[in-house]
Amino acid sequence: MKVKKQTETEYVIQERTSLKGNPGDICNLNISFDLYKDIKQSLQVAIIVVKTIYDNSSNKFIQVTLEYDKESFLSLKTAAGKIKGKSIRLNLNSKELFKIKRMRSIDLNNYIKRSFKNLNEIKNNVQRRAISGFKFEKEICIKKGWRSDSKSPSLYWEGNGKSWIEKLKNLNFNVEAFRVNLNKSKFNKWDATDGGINYEIKKYDTEKIQGKYILYSEPIIKIAPSRSKWKKGNTQYDVFPSPEKYNQFINDLIHSTWWKKDSEKILTKIINSSKGIQFIDRFIEKNNIEFSWKLNTGKEGIAPIFEGYHRLSIVFKI
């Protein structure tokens, strides 16, 4: 019997903490109970925790990166203190963070010190993404003097409701009425900025991907849940419990009148939000890269899809 290889789930967890705030917060991490549960239920997990310690008086920050597997992460002890909402506070058990906890100012000699103009530039977030790609982005930003500033397109869909699935249902699955509002959408797509120009970063050697289609973005609605949450009660599952109905909906959407009229506008706006792509070996400006829409059915070798649910993706080729 052939044993199916279990793929590893990778998380990047980023949290900012003030150097001048509660010193104990520097050594702790706040995460949701849902995320903690997902980690416990996963067979194989790799986790990077990036703690950003900032100093408002100097507008500077330093970062400490910690790596865990499932066993080491779940062995972290819970820390004292009240947390609002459904979350848990973990003690990261880091000697480096404990040393920073005692500092009155950021030590230039021991850490790479970066500047920020607005605190919103430093994000708190959780991403399921390839850890190797995240590390590469950080290395490039340090080398080039760029600031990590990941932005993704946010398309505004017409219809009544808070989520795209509610809007689609309220429009009775009419793909001509369920369309992107170009004026209300955000087409930002980049990984880093120098303060004026934005850049996409991809961990590929250009010689090895020459002539191949590579995933660039998935801005159109997609089915990509945690397996543990894909069940009755999930709003997307209740509407599309199997891929056949969903894939037909996506097929109808790309054959709609509005898509034929506006899809290239959406593509162009997303591409033009950055100067180009920084690869392992070189930087290529966007005008020298071929971008296009492609329906990912899982057979094209572009990227994995969830349980046969197709994805309408932007790909590039050099």
Report pLDDT for 146. 92
Using CA atoms, how far residue 131 sits from 65, 162, 181, in Å, is 12, 32, 34
Same domain, yes or no: 112 and 258: no
How many CA atoms are closer than 13 Å to the CA of 173, on its beta-carbon side? 10
Report pLDDT for 7. 54
Same domain, yes or no: 74 and 168: no
Q: How many domains does the chain have?
A: 2
List, in order, residues 6 or more apart from 12 with CB less than 8 Å away: 47, 48, 50, 126, 127, 129, 131, 134
DSSP string, 199-239: EEE----TTTSTT--EEEE--S------GGG-STT-HHHHH
User: Is residue 136 domain-resident?
Assistant: no
Q: For residue 38, what are the domain limits?
A: 1-129
Same domain, yes or no: 178 and 303: yes
Looking at residues 30-50, what average pLDDT do you find?
90
User: Is residue 137 domain-resident?
Assistant: no
Tens of pLDDT, residue by residue over 184-243, are 999 999 999 998 999 999 999 999 999 999 999 999 999 988 777 899 999 999 999 999
Report pLDDT for 109. 64
**Domain final residue, candidates 129, 156, 172:** 129
User: Is residue 298 domain-resident?
Assistant: yes
Tens of pLDDT, residue by residue over 235-244, are 999 999 999 9
Task: Reduce the DSSP state of residue 67 to 3 states and report it.
Answer: strand
Looking at residues 21-40, what average pLDDT do you find?
90
User: Is residue 95 domain-resident?
Assistant: yes
Q: Is the pLDDT of residue 3 over 50?
A: no
Same domain, yes or no: 72 and 173: no
User: Is residue 13 domain-resident?
Assistant: yes
Looking at residues 159-165, what average pLDDT do you find?
94
**Domain final residue, candidates 103, 129, 155:** 129
Looking at residues 60-82, what average pLDDT do you find?
88
